[in-house]
Structures are given as structure tokens and as C-alpha cells.
Amino acid sequence: MLIQNLNKIIFIHGWLFGSYIWKNIQGRIPNISSSELVSLPGYHKSSTNEHGRKVIDSILGSSKKDDMIIAYSYTAARILLSSELNKCDATIILINPFLKPKTSTITILRDNLVEDFDNTVKKFIFECVKGNNLAKKNFIKLKNLFYSNYIPKKDSLIAELDEMTNFDLSKFKVNFRENLVILLSDSDEVCDTRIIEYTQTS
């Protein structure tokens, strides 16, 4: 899985933050023919009513062996649930997928989002970056990034949270691919990562 042997990298954002979340990383990867920042429905001005699941299925179905797909959180979990996963030849890196979200936590987040959108968003951003000595700086940076880009509609975010309550990947097993890597971390900086490699079994 060498970067220099790749043709294209496809970045897919997670819940709340749009494709802009990957821009700094996109520009730092050398020797790649092309890269793409995917904006899922609901995360850009020209959004359609198409479900994000269909977009993800399409990406998995059309990606080639020398491509790499990098996805985060909600979308990473959605990839694991996709019927197209076993047909995809691309290398896939999934960061912090919701393997088994706590229903109570999601319900509280959902209810708070309904009652007070801005404060709930700020609290969520703080939870994303807390736990290191750069937390305050990163909080301000991420908050400003969120509010300076297209803001998803409340209803779209709530619909995704409702969908997450049905996720249960705690017993997920894969025996049909070697090029899937899942990174789990305690913060969104992906520090002190625990790497789970699902490799083909004989």
C-alpha cells in the first residue's frame, strides 16, 4: 500500500463537517496523479435529495485497484455497511468509524441539536479536539472552519443521527479483502492509533 503507486486518492468527509475538512491533507500528498474531495448530499449548496449511501456505493463501485479511498466517522461506517464493499478493488482507509454508537449519546446529541443548534455544534467540536494541549487552538480553528463553509441543514444532520442509531458493526468481520485498514483513535488528531487490519483468511 505505497502512496507513490497510487493513481488517485478519494477523500470522503464524515458527520457535520464537509469536504473542506480534508483540504490541508489533500495538498500534502506528493506523487499522486489526482485527488478528489467528495461532498455528500446535504453538505454543499447544490445538494440533491439523493441519499449519501448511493454516492458512497457509486464511489466504491467505480474505484480502481490503484485508487485509495479515505473516509471518516459516519461515512467510514457507511462504507463498511455498503453492499459494494466486497466489489471494490481500491485500498480503503477508514478513520474512527462508528462501530457501535451509543444510542443514548446520539439521542442526547439529536435532542440538543433540535433545541439549540449553535451551542450543540460548538460542544460537539470541543469533544472532537479535547484531550491534548492544543485543544483550545484546534477548537477555534475547527469552529471557524465550520462556520466559514456551507453549513448543513439541521434536518439533514438529524436524519444522519437517526440512521446512526441503527449501526452495529461491533461484530463486523470481513474475509474477502486485504486492502482495508481501520484506524481507531481517542481524538480527531488520530494520535496513538490502534490499527486494525482486516486481511483475507484462507
Q: What is the pLDDT of residues 118-151, one digit of tens each?
A: 999 999 999 888 887 899 999 999 999 999 999 9
% of the chain with per-residue pLDDT over 70: 81
pLDDT higher than threshold 80 for residue 196: no
Express the helix, strand and coil content of the chain in percent, nearest 5 each: 40, 15, 45
Which residues make beta-bridge pairs with 11?
Answer: 37, 70
Mention every residue, 6+ apart, whose C-beta is less than 8 A from residue 117.
154
45 or 90, which is more confident: 90
pLDDT higher than threshold 70 for residue 157: yes
Q: Domain coordinates of the chain in residue numbers?
A: 3-198
pLDDT higher than threshold 60 for residue 14: yes
As a whole number, mean pLDDT of residues 111-120 equals 96
Domain covering 3-198: architecture: 3-Layer(aba) Sandwich (3.40)
Could you tell me if 113 and 157 are in contact, meaning their C-beta atoms sit under 8 angstroms apart? yes
DSSP state of 36: E
Q: How confident is the model at residue 16 (pLDDT cuts 50, 70, 90)?
A: very high
| Structure confidence at residue 132 (pLDDT) | 78
Q: How confident is the model at residue 199 (pLDDT cuts 50, 70, 90)?
A: very low
What is the overall mean pLDDT for the chain?
82
